[in-house]
A and B are shown apart, each in its own frame.
Chain A
Amino acid sequence: MSARRERLLATLLEVTVPILALVAWGVASSGSETYYFPPLTDILETFADTWLFERVGSDVVPSLLRMGAGYTIAVVLGIALGLLLGMSRTARRAAAPIVEFLRAIPPPALLPFAILVIGVGNSMKVFIIAFVCVWPILLNTIGGVTGVDPTLRDTTRVYGIDTRDRVWRVMLPAASPQIFAGMRTSLSLALIMMVISEMVASTNGIGYLVLEWQRTFRIPEMWSGILLLGILGYALNGIFVLIERRLLRWHRGARASALS
């Protein structure tokens, strides 16, 4: 009984604490005279004025499209190359030093390179997002493919299953939990690179606006942009987890039945 009550209390706390934190922010900032920290109510009002829905078409959608394009390219390339490198030991060994080096470069350091070679347009942003997001997916795909149960691997070989079926029916499903882990890491990277690339060179987009507002000291607008980016980060992560849970249901199911 008491265990149940404790669980109930815990669930209640989990929901109420973030709300309380928000209320605390509202109360602490209400009537704030500090220029840099306007009252939360001001920020929310500005948020509604600024983002709903005037700037959705001019800034939010372009930002999200660039991010989506870069991320999609990274997913396709990362999984394809990961399968290739995962299934061939020779290719993996040959590519290892180059992969290790490119992955270790802090991504923003490549922005000047991308601006120089591609220019400041959309393709530069898509390129830099794709370039940064590809590594976690690539490495996780390699890890997932090389981690396939050796018995399973040998069985497919003994039964003479051809490469196409082996990739689609054995390797990809077996590696998918790890691939998804990489894709999740990359999704937050995609958002980060979207913001940075817009801050450095852009004429529209959420990242561009937030920095522009800071430079022109439009503080409530700046806060509303930060708030929007926070909401985007949270929502994208939430959507991803929902999709992952649905697509990998068979995996969890298999795990659970193997354990019981």
Chain B
Amino acid sequence: MAASRSARRRIPDAALPWLCVAAVLVLFELLPRMGFLPREHFPPISETIKTLFDQLGESSFWEAVWNTLQGWALGLGIAAALAIPIGIVIGSSSLLYRAMRGLIEFLRPIPSVALIPLAILIYGTGLQSKVFLAAFASFWQLLVATLYGVQDVDPVATDTARSFGFSRPQRLFRVTLPSAVPYIATGFRIASAVSLILTVTAELVIGSAGLGRAINVARSGGNEELMYALIIVTGILGVLLNLIFVQAERRVLRWHPSQRPGGAAA
């Protein structure tokens, strides 16, 4: 009896999110058509989706996607290559950590977009500016995540390794890094989002090639369908990149308690 009731409940439950998405789509189809939303600003969603599919055949569209992904990947990569080693070095010594903490706490809250004018001066309006801004912003996310991770190592594990005669590099690779990995993985996921945001910002404000510039060009050219289609594409990009990092986190951290069924954090 109880089983059949829960089965009956489960069907609408699983369909609920889809129903809601469908409702929103229908709303954005009907409201502009019936004149409740100004049609020149809100084209019916079907026209936006049609534009989106048309774009899939355009090489300029794929070029913009590629440009954005390039800025994202280079920014994130450079940030990781700098932040993780620096974080490990600073985090491994409590004296060094205390010495740098004030400086980090002072530099971290500086809004990265404040550096846009400087980036234009030094690197111009191309890919380099974009990468500089994305790398600068993601650097802090990854640095702080690495610092937390390295410092959260169980002291018993470190002491045990030391008394078993592990050398410093051995302790680093066998004890410190594995236990910092969950923090670094979370830092990567956040830094990935930040890198994408700054890449799109640079394209929009500085005018580097990519989706951000394409969106702005579509707006100023009065092509609303294209503007909405490209905004949807950046959203899909954001969802996909996040999904990739969540999956990677799960795979890399299969051994970690938080990823086991019934673990503390999901």
Q: Which residues of B contact A96 (CB under 8 A)?
A: 17
Q: Mark A55-99, 1 if CB is under 8 A from B, else 0.
A: 000000000000000000000000000000000001001111110
How many angstroms from the CA of A189 to the CA of B263 in the assembled complex?
31
Complex contact B216–A195 (CB within 8 A) = no
On whether A105 and B235 interact (CB within 8 A), knowing A15-B102, A192-B111, the answer reads yes
Q: Which residue of A lies closest to B217 (CB)?
A: A112
Q: Mark B104-126, 1 if CB is under 8 A from A, else 0.
A: 00100111111111101110000
Q: Which residues of A contact B224 (CB under 8 A)?
A: 116
Chain A contact residues, majority secondary structure:
helix
Q: Which residue of A lies closest to B197 (CB)?
A: A106
Q: Does residue B65 face the partner (Cβ distance < 8 Å to A)?
A: no
Q: How large is the interface on A (under 10, 10 to 19, 20 to 34, 35 or more residues)?
A: 35 or more
On whether A109 and B234 interact (CB within 8 A), knowing A96-B17, A222-B118, the answer reads yes
Complex contact B111–A191 (CB within 8 A) = yes
On whether A115 and B219 interact (CB within 8 A), knowing A105-B234, A195-B111, the answer reads yes
Q: Does residue A242 face the partner (Cβ distance < 8 Å to B)?
A: no
On whether A14 and B21 interact (CB within 8 A), knowing A116-B219, A211-B117, the answer reads no
Complex contact B231–A109 (CB within 8 A) = yes
How many angstroms from the CA of A103 to the CA of B180 in the assembled complex?
28
How many angstroms from the CA of A41 to the CA of B118 in the assembled complex?
18
How many angstroms from the CA of A104 to the CA of B106 in the assembled complex?
28
Q: Mark B2-35, 1 if CB is under 8 A from A, else 0.
A: 0000000000010011111100100000000000
| Contact of A107 (CB < 8 Å), options: B197, B205, B219, B230 | B197
Q: Does residue A256 face the partner (Cβ distance < 8 Å to B)?
A: no
Q: Which residue of B lies closest to A213 (CB)?
A: B117
Q: Which residue of B lies closest to A193 (CB)?
A: B113
How many angstroms from the CA of A259 to the CA of B196 in the assembled complex?
41
Among A193-247, those with CB < 8 Å from B are 195-196, 199-200, 207, 210-211, 213-214, 219, 222, 225-226, 229-230, 232-234, 236-237
Complex contact A14–B118 (CB within 8 A) = no
How many angstroms from the CA of A101 to the CA of B120 in the assembled complex?
31
Q: Does residue B200 face the partner (Cβ distance < 8 Å to A)?
A: yes
Q: Does residue A108 face the partner (Cβ distance < 8 Å to B)?
A: yes
Q: Interface with B: A4-12, A149-157, A159-167, A175-183, which one?
A: A4-12
Q: Which residues of B contact A108 (CB under 8 A)?
A: 197, 200-201, 204-205, 212
Complex contact B111–A9 (CB within 8 A) = no
How many angstroms from the CA of A192 to the CA of B115 in the assembled complex?
11
Q: Which residues of A contact B111 (CB under 8 A)?
A: 188, 191-192, 195, 229-230, 232-233
Q: Does residue B81 face the partner (Cβ distance < 8 Å to A)?
A: no
| Contact of A101 (CB < 8 Å), options: B116, B204, B211, B239 | B239
Q: Does residue B218 face the partner (Cβ distance < 8 Å to A)?
A: yes
Q: What is the minimal beta-carbon distance from A92 to any residue of chain B, in angstroms?
A: 10
Q: Which residues of B contact A18 (CB under 8 A)?
A: 102-103, 106
Q: Which residue of A lies closest to B95 (CB)?
A: A10
How many angstroms from the CA of A198 to the CA of B101 in the assembled complex?
32
Q: Which residues of A contact B20 (CB under 8 A)?
A: 94-95, 97-98
How many angstroms from the CA of A171 to the CA of B231 in the assembled complex?
36
Q: Which residues of B contact A17 (CB under 8 A)?
A: 99-100, 102-103
Q: Which residues of B contact A211 (CB under 8 A)?
A: 116-117, 205
| Of listed B117, B200, B212, B236, residue having the most chain A CB within 10 A | B117
On whether A98 and B24 interact (CB within 8 A), knowing A117-B41, A233-B111, the answer reads yes
How many angstroms from the CA of A196 to the CA of B231 in the assembled complex?
17
Complex contact B21–A196 (CB within 8 A) = no
16 interchain pairs, CB-CB under 8 A: A14-B102, A93-B17, A97-B21, A106-B193, A108-B197, A108-B200, A109-B230, A111-B216, A115-B219, A116-B219, A117-B41, A196-B113, A210-B114, A211-B116, A214-B120, A230-B114
Beyond the given pairs A112-B218, A113-B227, A234-B110, 6 more chain A to chain B contacts, judged by CB atoms under 8 angstroms and listed by A's residue number, are A18-B106, A94-B17, A104-B239, A106-B212, A108-B200, A225-B114
B residues within 8 Å of A by Cβ?
Answer: 13, 16-21, 24, 41-42, 94-95, 98-103, 106, 109-118, 120-122, 193, 196-197, 199-201, 204-205, 211-212, 215-216, 218-219, 224, 227-228, 230-231, 234-236, 238-239, 242
9 closest residue pairs by CB, A with B: A104-B238, A214-B117, A10-B98, A13-B99, A229-B114, A112-B219, A105-B235, A233-B109, A230-B110
